[in-house]
Structure 1
Amino acid sequence: MSTTPESRRWSVAAACAALVALVAGAALTGWVLTRPDDTAGDGLAALRTPAATTSAPPPTPEATPSVRATPRATEATAAAPRPVRLRIPDLGVDASVRPVGVQRDGGMVIPAEPTSVGWYRYGRAPADPLGHTVIAGHVATREDGPGALAPLAGAEEGMRVEVLDADGVRHRYVVRGRENIRKKALPVDEIFAREGRPLLVLVTCGGEYLPELRSHRDNVVVTAEPAG
């Protein structure tokens, strides 16, 4: 996703490319060498229902590592209060959430500020009874270093997640899975599902850093379900 003068919006792909300046640091190199397992708990495939992929928007995975989606606003999405803050206490995540759409190339817009993450506003909101609420953020930027979702690589089953919406309602979730998914194989239809059980899906870059591509190999996808 490209940077604009107005908001410095980048795509997840651009955030990955920006990491080339950080990989030289000892801390990030150490993380690459000792990164967590590729999966933890149940992933998207285990949590989805047959209906979950029937009404998803029609984004198509590309060779690039960006998260791609086609905007299709619905009445349900418009009526539900938008998320404004994301917290994962066990990981130290506390980020403001901004509604975002797509750029001309179909890439999901991501706020450039490291303390902010983007909510896909053409998808579902936390108060919607069906479908996935998708929030994505940078793992790092060249100017600001690690992003708000950099700790997602350490997400474990059972961790608590909280999303505050614009009406002041706190939506509580429990992490059920974390997957490192090859970017070329990212299951976009599942991630942006509009039907099926309500889930929160968090996405950032992760996995092995590939210097020749100036990009990480994978996307880290964390799936959480509403707390009972």
Structure 2
Amino acid sequence: MRPRAARRVLPAVACGLGLLVLATAVPLRYRVQPAENVGSDLVSRLAAGVPDIAAAPGDRHGRVVRPVKLAIPDIGVAARVVPTGLDSRGEFALPSTVDTVAWYRLGPGLGELTGSVVLGGHVDDSEKDEGAFFRLRLLTPGAWIIVGADDGHGRAYRVVGREEYPKSEIDLRRYFSTTGIPRLTLITCGGSFDDESKTYQDNVVVTAVPVPGAS
């Protein structure tokens, strides 16, 4: 296990865009319309450690529990989860295949008493195939997320927030954090597509909290 100090590293969130979308791809903005932000105030309170909703507490004892599977029934996600850290540019490294999701292993694992478990996924690829998080921006509060773990137990979460920010303005401390109320953070790209840089301009972030009594 890495020293706790090393697990506080904040990445630059750029979605591993060296392989995400090439100029020949149809930008996401033409296929999925953005939705308004919801739950931003609540997400801020969770990050600050101020609970005002019914959420299950963390229960971590001993080793870090790794997420290995992700299911989001409302948007048809059923994906494998792999651990990653930072790439050579200091960015959150995403998998080489768009149907796989990354867990930021330098942050908390499942069931920890505090902090944000971060999962990142692609929107699409240069062949115009939809990525695991292609429809992430369509999630609404109340949607269920099920995360399978390497201890053989699933964890259930309920969506409480969906936000979209320009990448230059996103506050990474709010999402890549070892403090605050236990929560799950899903992150991908969104917004308009820049043909010159071959990147989307925004990040879409969904926040969910553990469901009491559910597994």
Fold agreement, TM-score > 0.5: yes
Aligned-partner Cα distance in 2 for 1:197–1:169 = 21
Query: What residue is the counterpart of 2:123 in the other structure?
Result: 139
1:151 to 135, 150, 158: 135
Structure 2 residue 178 is matched with structure 1 residue 194:
yes
Q: 2:19 touches 2:96 (CA, 8 Å); kept in 1?
A: no
Q: CA deviation at 1:15?
A: 5.5
2:165 aligns to what SS in structure 1?
strand
Identical-pair percentage = 34
What TM-score, normalized by structure 2, do the two folds share?
0.79
Aligned-partner Cα distance in 1 for 2:96–2:128 = 9
* Residues 1-228 of structure 1: pairs in structure 2 closer than 5 A: 12-14=15-17, 18-23=21-26, 28=28, 30-31=30-31, 35-42=33-40, 44-49=43-48, 79-143=63-127, 145-228=129-212
Q: CA deviation at 1:115?
A: 1.6
What RMSD, in angstroms, separates the aligned Cα atoms of the two structures? 2.5
Query: What residue is the counterpart of 1:67 in the other structure?
Result: none
Structure 1 runs of 4+ with >4 Å offset: none
Aligned-partner Cα distance in 2 for 1:144–1:78 = 42
Aligned-partner Cα distance in 1 for 2:102–2:20 = 18
Number of aligned residue pairs: give it: 190
Equivalent residue letter for 1:172 = A
Q: Deviations over 1:150-187 (max 9, x none)?
A: 11010101000000000111100000010011100111
Aligned-partner Cα distance in 2 for 1:130–1:42 = 19
Aligned-partner Cα distance in 2 for 1:139–1:17 = 7
Q: Which has the higher helix share?
A: 1
Aligned-partner Cα distance in 2 for 1:36–1:144 = 19
Q: Deviations over 1:130-156 (max 9, x none)?
A: 100000011111146211011101010
What TM-score, normalized by structure 1, do the two folds share?
0.75
Aligned-partner Cα distance in 2 for 1:158–1:19 = 34
Q: CA deviation at 1:112?
A: 1.4
Q: Pick closer, same or farther for the CA change 1:113–1:17 going to 2, 3 Å.
A: closer
Equivalent residue letter for 2:25 = L
Structure 1 gaps of 5+ residues are: 1-10, 52-75
Q: 1:77 touches 1:125 (CA, 8 Å); kept in 2?
A: no
Aligned-partner Cα distance in 2 for 1:36–1:165 = 31
1:201 aligns to what SS in structure 2?
strand
Aligned-partner Cα distance in 2 for 1:167–1:77 = 12
Q: Pick closer, same or farther for the CA change 1:197–1:208 going to 2, 3 Å.
A: same
